[in-house]
Structure 1
Amino acid sequence: MSNVQVKNLDEDLHEQLRARAAQEGTTISAYVLELIRRDLRRPTRRQWLDEIAELPKHNFSREEIYEAIDEGRNRR
């Protein structure tokens, strides 16, 4: 296993990490490792923007949008 060292971590941030880890019933190391895992499971901004760019484009007019909203409201 590899190690990661965080330098220049101010005391306030360290205390917040310690408190948060304690709330979760774990160590700072395990807590930070879970944060890293969670972050790496998420798509990057670039991936997210690429996915959005792949979505079908719609050119609805403002009137069509308002009509659809009104239609939805009238169904209630």
Structure 2
Amino acid sequence: MATLQVRQLPDDVHAELRRRANADGVSLSELVTQVLRREVALPSMAGWLAELRTAPERGPVDVLGALDAVRDERG
């Protein structure tokens, strides 16, 4: 397993991470690992833009029709 060292981490960021770790009952290392896992689970901006470029084009949205359909479903 790799080790990560963060240099020049602002004191206020470190204090908040430590506060959250304590509140969650986990170590600072565990909390930072959770935060990083959530971040890397998201697509990067470049990946998201590439996906957007290859997505099929959609026509205009009929907002009023969609609202009517929702109202009809609700009764």
Do they superpose with TM above 0.5? Answer: yes
Q: What's the secondary structure of 2:53's corresponding residue?
A: helix
Equivalent residue letter for 1:7: R
Distance 1:25 1:70 in 2: 45
Normalised to the residue count of structure 1, the TM-score between the two structures is 0.72
Q: Deviations over 1:39-76 (max 9, x none)?
A: 1121111111222222221333xxx7255246436635
Q: Which runs of 5+ in 2 are unaligned?
A: none
TM-score, normalisation: structure 2:
0.73
Higher relative contact order (CA 8 A, sep 6+): 2
Greater Rg, structure 1 or structure 2?
1
* Uncovered stretches (5+) of structure 1, i.e. residues with no partner: none
Q: For residues 48-67 of structure 1, what are the structure 2 equivalents within 5 Å? A: 48-60=48-60, 65-66=62-63
The amino acid across from 1:18 in the alignment is R
